[in-house]
Amino acid sequence: MNRRQLVITASAAMALPAYAKAESPSLKSPGPQIIAHRGASGYLPEHTLAAYEAAVRMGADHIEPDVVATKDGHLVVRHDPVLTDSTDILSHPEFADRKRTVSFGTFEITDFFVSDFTLAEIKTLRARQVFADRSHADDDRYEIPTLQEVLGLRERLSRESGRTVGIVPEIKFPTLHRQVGLAIEEKLVDMLDRAGLNSATAPVWIQSFEQANLKALKKMTPIKLLQLVSGSDVDPTGAVTLLPPDDKPYDWVVSGRAGTYADMLTQEGLDEVATYAAVVSPWKRWLVSFSNGQPVVRKDIVDNAHARGLQVFTWTLRNDRLDPFYAGDPAAEYTQLFHMGVDGVFSDFPDTAVAARDKFAQ
């Protein structure tokens, strides 16, 4: 065992969580849950049916569609409410006049907004890999799917694989959508209801970086809710820094509520989250950051959440975005988080995540 492995193990030395060898009764997969972040997005253009199917074939427990709305009210899946980075929109001169600037508190976005396009127009676009250093061999091959198509795929893959495939939809920019008359929450719940997934025991979590829409959803549906907690960067001491737009939920900006995402992870903040959510999901640097090449571990966040009955998921694990501490071994990052008691991880490389979990559970 090398020095890095010793530190990883020592930084979270404890008995393995009970679920390390347990079998989930609903998903039949041991240990922490593996959520395919935007599908198998490390290999294929994100948020495509191909990426979701590949993720399930790799053993992911859940697929994660980010949900946005079109001009005519259809729910489609994109990571952002804009199109330049993830599609071939710039190859469509017929849409050149759609680019515009939208203000979000103290920052602005100039781009092509999904909410300015009909579903028929969105269907003329093709998906592209968003990371320049990943394979672009599959760019411009796949349509932008609707959420309904993703739900249909989930049902088919569950049937074909003989296991229940979960789904973890994220409502993107809920306040923005509501401001332009395209609220997502009610439509999403209706679609999940028609898919037979509107229950507390369904393999579903609805997630959001905002808080007000999750509190509203708590009154609307028994489906489990997941509070995302963002961050901007890490300072030399290993502390998470917070700058717009990742400093606070946008609904807090609009309502004038004081505070930042850091407040959600305090004792009082977790008390509030526990009143409406089943899961708190901080950016992984809230749990493990680095200072002078060594890990700064915040297992107390995991323990405090668990003490309130909250599960802890974290994001995003990527083979090609590892801190040098892990010496090029993606499994080491998973193992460190699993030893801390994390209940689920969002990964761009679900095959790596599943393999790391399987090894951890041995």
Beta bridge partners of 317: 347
How many other CB atoms are found less than 10 A from the CB of residue 293?
10
| Structure token pair of residue 111 | 């781009």
> Is there a contact between 323 and 290 (Cβ–Cβ < 8 Å)?
yes
How crowded is residue 123: how many other Cβ atoms within 10 Å of its Cβ? Answer: 16
Contacts of 237 (CB under 8 A, 6+ apart): 291, 296
| Phi, psi values for residue 207, rounded to 5° | -120, 155
| DSSP 8-state assignment for residue 231 | -
Indicate if 74 belongs to the active site. Answer: no
CA triplet 233, 237, 242: central angle to 5 degrees?
30
Please confirm, yes or no, whether 47 is among the known catalytic residues: no
What tokens does 61 get? 């427990």
Q: How long, in residues, is the chain?
A: 362
Q: Which of 37, 47, 62, 177 is catalytic?
A: 37
Query: CA 260 to CA 282: how far, in whole Å?
Result: 13
214 vs 335: CA distance, rounded Å: 31
> What does the block give as tokens for 317?
């694990």
DSSP 81: S
Q: Which residue, 52, 57, 79, 53, is CA-closest to 68?
A: 79
From residue 25, alpha-carbon distances to 140, 151, 203, 285 in Å are 39, 22, 11, 31
In contact, 206 and 147? CB cutoff 8 Å = no
Q: Which of 47, 62, 79, 339 is catalytic?
A: 79
Residue the block writes with tokens 């592209």: 128
Active site amino acids: 37, 79
